[in-house]
Structure 1
Amino acid sequence: MVTLLLDSTQLEVVLSGTERALSRRSTSVRIERDLIQKVQLTDDPWNWLRGVPSLGTLVRGVVAMGTWASAGGSDFVVVRRRRAGVIIDLDESAEFSRLLLTTRHGLELVRALRLEGEDAAAPVTEIVAAADDPEAPASARAPRPRRTPRPAIA
């Protein structure tokens, strides 16, 4: 399973040795935080595959890893079995148009992206845990956005 690291400037998808070999990619995927347009959670990432594998590995229903080419651009995919995942839509100036990842930390990723990032990269689960922990020092907690009441419609 991929490790997601997030700091104030970028999201890094750290690949294990096996994932690097199957995806035929020698480095982690680094995406500038400003290039992230939308993040969606999904119960079945297989339904979101589009195009054909151009560089990577595909064993239907078991594993899909690597770069997928389609008319809409190229996607980077790390999908395993029938597990929940996350779809990250990116700006057109990014290396990929979309990231499709199997992870059990999708909800934490969404929450961590809403928070102000620290300068040092940290796993998304730790960022969210620090924000939720009332005992953590104030420097470790991110400020929560204020909600303003909506006016009543007459």
Structure 2
Amino acid sequence: MAELRVEGPDLVLALGPLERVGSFRGRDLRVPLSAVRRVRVPISPWIALRGWRSAGIAVPGWVAMGTRRHGEGWDFTLVRRSGPAVVIELNGYRFDELVVSVADAPATGARLAAAAGIAFDPTPDRGPLGPA
């Protein structure tokens, strides 16, 4: 399973072998923490997905890995089944959002927000549609 970790001034999305193949990405994703604008926990990871699959694999309700194209730009997703996920909104980076399935979304979100120096609200939201 992919891992979100903080390494110095960067947020690293470390991909396992299956994530590398499924997302068509050969290396880990490294984002400066200064680019993190907001971290949120969606009520469902599937509601948080935007646009359509560009590169990677997607089976609705089962898995969405890779790059997604939408009207405002690009997102990167690693979503599995119905488990919890975090959405990391970015400024000034090639992806607008990272949507990643994690075991403990509120704790992961709080840890990432603290590392980026931003506030975190653990209340699940409905993604781009507004608060729950």
TM range (shorter): 0.7 to 0.9
Whether the 8 Å contact between 2:75 and 2:98 is mirrored in structure 1 is yes
Name stretches of at least 5 consecutive residues in structure 1 with no aligned partner.
118-154
Tell me the amino acid that sits aligned with residue 107 of structure 1: P
1:104-124, CA deviations, whole angstroms, 9 ceiling, x for partnerless residues? 23223333235458xxxxxxx
Give every structure 1 segment of 4 or more consecutive aligned residues whose post-TM-superposition deviation is greater than 6 Å: none
The answer to whether residue 96 in structure 2 is matched with residue 97 in structure 1 is yes
CA positional deviation for 1:57: 0.3
TM-score, length-scaled by structure 1: 0.70
SS at match of 2:47: helix
TM-score, length-scaled by structure 2: 0.81
Distance in 1, matches of 2:49 and 2:83, equals 14
Tell me the residue number matched to 1:74. 74
Which of the pair has more CA radius of gyration?
1
Tell me the residue number matched to 2:60. 60
Name stretches of at least 5 consecutive residues in structure 2 with no aligned partner.
117-132
Aligned residue pairs: how many?
A: 116
1:35-50 to 2 correspondence within 5 Å? 35-50=35-50
Tell me the amino acid that sits aligned with residue 108 of structure 2: L
Identity score, percent: 31
Distance 1:54 1:114, change over 3 A: closer
Superposition CA RMSD, Å: 1.5
Distance 1:116 1:39, change over 3 A: closer
Distance in 2, matches of 1:109 and 1:49, equals 19
